[in-house]
Amino acid sequence: MSTKKSPEEMKSIFQKYAAKEGDPNQLSKEELKLLIQSEFPSLLKGVNTLDSLFEELDKNGDGEVSFEEFQSLFKKMSQ
């Protein structure tokens, strides 16, 4: 699946997985894992592991990934 998605598509994907447990505005590590494996499996190839990806996205260190933190991944990928 392509990582080229509109901001609206990205928000929809984020909300779909964030709503699975806990805070519907935050992705837990498990929710992020499901999202990446289902929507963007190519992100986990090579040196990127889920743990390193989660640590990179969780800028404030609260153990969850907000939509703003999630967006940074796709800004980086589109450059």
Let me know if residue 1 belongs to a domain: no
Containing structural domain, residue 41: 7-77
The tally of domains found in the chain comes to 1
pLDDT at 48: 65
Let me know if residue 66 belongs to a domain: yes
Burial class (CB in 10 A: 0-12, 13-18, 19+), 71: middle
| Model pTM score | 0.83
Could you give the angle at the alpha carbon of 30 between the alpha carbons of 39 and 59, nearest 5°? 90
CA distances in angstroms from 48 to 6, 34, 40, 55, 56, listed in the order given: 23, 15, 12, 11, 10
Interval 1-30: pLDDT, tens? 445 778 899 999 999 999 988 899 999 999
Residue with the two structure tokens 């190839």: 45
Q: Where are the beta strands (DSSP E) in 24-66?
A: 26-27, 65-66
Interval 43-70: pLDDT, tens? 777 666 888 889 989 999 999 999 999 9
Let me know if residue 2 belongs to a domain: no
CATH number of the domain within which 52 lies: 1.10.238.10
